[in-house]
Structure 1
Amino acid sequence: MQIPITGFIYESNDVSLNGDHSHVLYVTSLDGRRVHIHGFSGFTSFDDDHRHDYLGRTEPAPSGVPHVHRYFTITSFFDGHEHRIEGTTGPAIDIPCGGHYHEFKGTTTINGYKPHKHMYSGKTGNEVS
């Protein structure tokens, strides 16, 4: 099954250490519906005598229908390590003045000189087209 999408590609002129450059695909519609994203940020739980902060954007999802978003980010670097954060948000929660947000929670990957993990939870910001 094919689902039509529209969007545009942005080519970065930044070159990584291995000589590659990157492209970012901005999806503007999915199966004929406008899409949106959410920003999210927060702090992990305090474990192994520290915590990490994180910042990211969800993957696009269709607007105007019940939906969830996938998300992925890397925590801040601390004491020689970082952790991956990824998952799927809960369903949309309407905001009285318009728009919606999503709640999310999970556990980071295990990492560090003394292997450990952190818990995280939060709410996304309002939708962004």
Structure 2
Amino acid sequence: MKMPIYGFMYSSDDSDPLHAHQLFITSWDSGPVHVHPFRGVTSFDAGHAHGYAGTTEPAPSGVPHTHRYFTFTSFDDGHHHEISSITGPAISLPDGRHYHEFKGTTTVNGATPHSHRYAGKTGS
């Protein structure tokens, strides 16, 4: 089944070697899309923890959905980690808004290779 998805591509100045472009989805199957902020602190492992923050990828509004997310942790103890996964389903709030729970394990990095656990709830 084909589903029309509309948006636009933003091309950066290539100053960030990790992100050369971004795709902004503006509608999904002719309906609106939305995103959620997320943030938190990882577990304390190998003598330190990392902070992280980001915004989920767009998902359709008004239907059951999840969001993909990706970010880097703060640079602590000489390294950072990647955080990437898919949120749980939408959890409705009494005022009509919703949030998503997320959890996972970072990539392995550091002078002493290790990972961290993380968990939280997106903004609504």
Whether the TM-score (by the shorter chain) exceeds 0.5 is: yes
The residue aligned with 1:10 is 10
CA shift digits 1:40-93 (9 cap, x unpaired): 000000111100000111111111011111111110111111111111111101
Unmatched 5+ stretches in structure 2:
none
Unmatched 5+ stretches in structure 1:
none
Say how many residue pairs are matched.
Answer: 123
Query: Deviation at 1:10?
Result: 3.0
The residue aligned with 1:84 is 82
CA shift digits 1:7-62 (9 cap, x unpaired): 223343x34277xx943221111122211111100000011110000011111111
Name the SS of the counterpart of 1:120 in structure 2: strand
**Larger % of strand: which?**
1
- RMSD of aligned residue pairs (Cα, Å): 1.8
The residue aligned with 1:43 is 41
TM-score normalised by L of structure 1:
0.87
Kindly, what percent of the aligned residue pairs are identical? Answer: 63
Name the SS of the counterpart of 2:32 in structure 1: strand
CA separation in 2, counterparts of 1:113 and 1:73? 21
TM-score normalised by L of structure 2:
0.90
